Structure 1
Amino acid sequence: MKTFTNFRRPVTYGAILVFYVMSAFFQKFLKFESNNTGRTLAQFKPFYFTGVNFGVQTLFLCTAVLDELLQILTPKTKLQKSIQYVRHVTFSTIVFPCTLLVVTVFWTIWHIDRELIFPKALDDFYPAWLNHTMHTFILVPLVIEVAFSQTVDKYHVLERSLLGLLAFAGTYQTIYFFIYIRHGIWLYPIYGVLNWMQRIVFVLIKVIACTLYHYVGVALLTRNKTRPEPQKLL
């Protein structure tokens, strides 16, 4: 029973990681070229924010599995503490706020007019279960990480994580606009029906939402925890 309890967390993270890898592998067999919308998705797939977030979540899950295993096999070592720090930084800086942004923005626009975010033409080759994997199931790792954080050793609040988030978001948005300037294509159709002032306001709203989500994530991860003195990991 004790052995099962020890491995409950790495097994949980590992199962989600396997599902993520299988989902990514499945996408390789999709016939994107079946229509113009699909060809655009195939050509610029690495630059969709949904895909970027999914990739970061996958890397986070790898870190979480490794951290959980090290906590069982070699706890409190320099390597384990470093991996845990990377895990906390990745989660609070990018995974938590960006995942909530993807879910809220995608499904809000979907229910207003899905053609502005996920055109029906994609249904010809993009299965519904994969759509929910990319835009709904991604909430599961957040819930699990926040729930398991109650048993994680205390760590200091990551003061620079907000700057990291803003840098990440700014870099992505710059690349996104560059794709339009270079290729004349908006990856998400909603940008095509907005004028430039509305686009700027839309981006600012997303930045504000991401910032609020960041603070919520840090508050949840550090609830009932006192702030220890900063420690050098390396």
Structure 2
Amino acid sequence: MLIRTILGLILSIFVTGAIVWACSFEIQPRTMGESVTAPGREYKFLTVLNLHLQAMYYIICIINFCFGTDTLESGKRSFLQKLRDLLFAGATFPIGMFVCIAFWGLYHIDREFVYPKELDTLFPSVLNHIMHTLPGIALCLENLVHYHRYPSRLLGLSLVIIIFVAYITWVHYLHRIHWLTFRENVWVYPILNELSPTYRGLFFLGSALFGIGLYFIGEMYTLFLPNLQTDRITE
């Protein structure tokens, strides 16, 4: 148990440090142009928002290690563990896995949709993997070293839906601001420029449904991990 807990702390510190380094990486406006000067700047990208979400989550894990609990018994869980488990279920896991799967899926279909080739000369490969690979791997490992008790599905799914609706609203808001400012029909991601309004709506709907599906995958993964299958329960 002690080794498991220590491994959880080491993982949390490592991921937090990697994300802090990635977020501190300077993007030169003269080389990135509109990508960092347009409305929303880098915060229009779900990848960047996810990095901040993951960092916040792992910082909570570190604080919980020092002052909280790590148990499956509902009555013995501290406030910090309840907060950690809620964030894992309704935000960190579905959003983190969505970013990884969606990015690499679109990357292999046509990388120009999400990560144009010229970015290879601007960003080191390790930075790309910290942004788009590490979150998914870390979440799978994190679930092996921390006990999670999922919240009620109503609460967990509500959080997932709120996050996706908020981000989709943010994307449309930035598109509107860009149109009013520059009179250009430009979306956050190049793939959205290629879709008609109908298919764009279906794309957003499909993305949200995929995120909801990832919630259930995370729940099942948490419930049926080897050697813990009989212990993990949901409220």
Question: TM-score, normalized by length of structure 2?
Answer: 0.83
Aligned-pair CA distance for 1:113: 1.3
Where 1:159 maps in the other structure, the secondary structure is: helix
Among candidates 122, 125, 141, match of residue 119 of structure 2: 122
The separation in 2 between residues aligned to 1:203 and 1:64, in whole angstroms, is 31
Aligned-pair CA distance for 1:7: 2.8
CA shift in 2, pair 1:3/1:216, >3 Å: closer
**Aligned match of 2:78:** 81
Aligned-pair CA distance for 1:136: 0.8
Over aligned residues, Cα RMSD in angstroms? 2.8
Q: Encode CA deviations 1:169-226: one digit per residue, 9 max, x unaligned.
A: 1011001011111103311110011111110111111111111100111222233336
The separation in 1 between residues aligned to 2:29 and 2:134, in whole angstroms, is 23
Aligned-pair CA distance for 1:155: 6.3
Where 1:161 maps in the other structure, the secondary structure is: helix
**Aligned match of 2:102:** 105
The separation in 2 between residues aligned to 1:143 and 1:117, in whole angstroms, is 24
**Aligned match of 2:12:** 13
1:220 and 2:225 correspond: no
CA shift in 2, pair 1:4/1:226, >3 Å: closer
Matches within 5 A, 1:161-180: 161-180=156-175
**Aligned match of 2:183:** none
**Aligned match of 1:57:** 54
8 Å contact kept, 1:10–1:64: yes
Gapped runs of 5+ residues in structure 1?
Answer: none
Q: Encode CA deviations 1:50-100: one digit per residue, 9 max, x unaligned.
A: 11111100000001111122258xxx9x99711101101111101111111
Gapped runs of 5+ residues in structure 2?
Answer: 180-185
**Aligned match of 1:69:** 66
Q: Identity over the aligned pairs, expressed in percent?
A: 20
8 Å contact kept, 1:60–1:87: yes
The separation in 2 between residues aligned to 1:67 and 1:59, in whole angstroms, is 12
**Aligned match of 1:46:** 43
The worse-fitting range, judged by mean Cα deviation, of 193-202 and 218-227 is 218-227
The separation in 1 between residues aligned to 2:119 and 2:37, in whole angstroms, is 11
8 Å contact kept, 1:116–1:189: yes
The separation in 1 between residues aligned to 2:172 and 2:39, in whole angstroms, is 18
Question: TM-score, normalized by length of structure 1?
Answer: 0.83
8 Å contact kept, 2:18–2:130: no
The separation in 1 between residues aligned to 2:7 and 2:46, in whole angstroms, is 31
**Aligned match of 1:30:** 27
CA shift in 2, pair 1:123/1:43, >3 Å: farther
8 Å contact kept, 2:68–2:79: no
Aligned-pair CA distance for 1:39: 3.8
